[in-house]
Every structure is written in structure tokens, then in C-alpha cells.
Structure 1
Amino acid sequence: MKLSYVYILKCSDASYYTGVTSNLTKRFSEHQIGKHKDSYTYKRRPLELVFYAEFTDINLAIESEKQIKKWSRAKKEALINGDFDKLPNLAKKRFH
């Protein structure tokens, strides 16, 4: 069974990058060495892998990556910190 991974990198400017891969070690190394000069992470190195999740279905991994990319910084940090009980409240919009 082939695994896929959704991962979050913390960049040197404190921003987050979310991606999906079938080889986490190789992909993280590619980010770190700057393999792709036009990528978001290239000028934001060094990077830190702060979260990853394993998937047995690549389609679910891609779906999760797209979902996480839309999240607020606070919600991504709750996920990174394992504060799963906070995730539903961080998804709610606040109307003033």
C-alpha cells in the first residue's frame, strides 16, 4: 500500500506552506536545498517540518491539502499543536 502525506512547513519568515507528496523525506529535502527556484519556499529557507499526516488514498490527501491551504493561520497552528478540539471553533466566521 502506497502512502501519501500532507505536510506543513514553517518558513524562515514564519509563514506556512502546505503540500502533498508520496515521499515526505525526499520532498522536504528538495524544499530545503531549493530544488525549485520558482517555488514559494525557495526564498523562505531554512524550513521546518511542523506537521504531517499519512493517507492511504492520494485523493483524500489532495483534498485535505486543499482544505488546509484555505485555513486561517490560527487554525493551522491549532492543527500543528494538536489542539484538535479548537478546530471547529476556528472554522466559524465571526460577524460583528
Structure 2
Amino acid sequence: MLKCSDDTLYTGITTDLARRVDEHNNSPKAAKYTRIRRPVELIYSENYEDKSGASKREYDIKQLSRVQKLFLVK
């Protein structure tokens, strides 16, 4: 989960966390949402063995309210 410069939260999946955070901050490959909200800061991550598990968890996290997401981070 990323915290954007406007204090919003962004959730996604990747196979290389460090590379993806760098892309969100410095590359045109960043998600459209994060490109206009730079810089972003990594505030939470989880590891999964496969893409299916990661995608299911991403969906679950995206269903949470902002308050619930911030509670998860703590």
C-alpha cells in the first residue's frame, strides 16, 4: 500500500516491490493515479506465493474503508 503526496492510499500488486515503488515515483510506467500524486511512500506490504493469492488479497484490501486500511497498517 502506498501513501501518496495528497494523503490518499493506493493498493496494487507486483513481483518486485522496490522496482515498482521506484516506478511509481520516477517513471512514466507508474499508475496514472500515482503519477499525479508523487512522491509516494510504501507504508504496507504482504508477500504471497502466487499471483492468484495476491490478487484476492488486493481485492479484499480495496474493499476496506480508509480507516480500516490505516488500522491494518498499524
TM range (shorter): over 0.9
Matched, 1:62 2:61: no
Other-structure match for 2:69: 76
Runs (4+) off by over 3 Å = none
Map Cα deviations across residues 32-75 of structure 1 (whole Å, 9 max, x no partner).
11423661001100111000001112101000001111210011
TM-score (norm 2): 0.92
So what's the TM-score if we normalise by structure 1?
A: 0.72
* 1:19-34 equivalence runs, <5 A: 19-34=12-27
* Number of corresponding residues: 74
Structure 2 unaligned spans of 5+:
none
* Aligned-residue RMSD, C-alpha: 1.3
The alpha-carbon distance between structure 1 residues 54 and 11, as it changes in their structure 2 partners (threshold 3 A), is same
Amino acid in structure 2 at the alignment position of 1:29: D
Q: Counting strand residues as a fraction of each chain, which structure ranks higher?
A: 1
**1:46 aligned partner:** 39
Structure with the higher helix share, 1 or 2: 2
Aligned to 2:5: 12
Question: Match for 2:42: what amino acid?
Answer: L
Amino acid at match of 2:18: T
Consecutive unaligned residues of structure 1, counting only runs of 5 or more, are: 1-7, 82-96
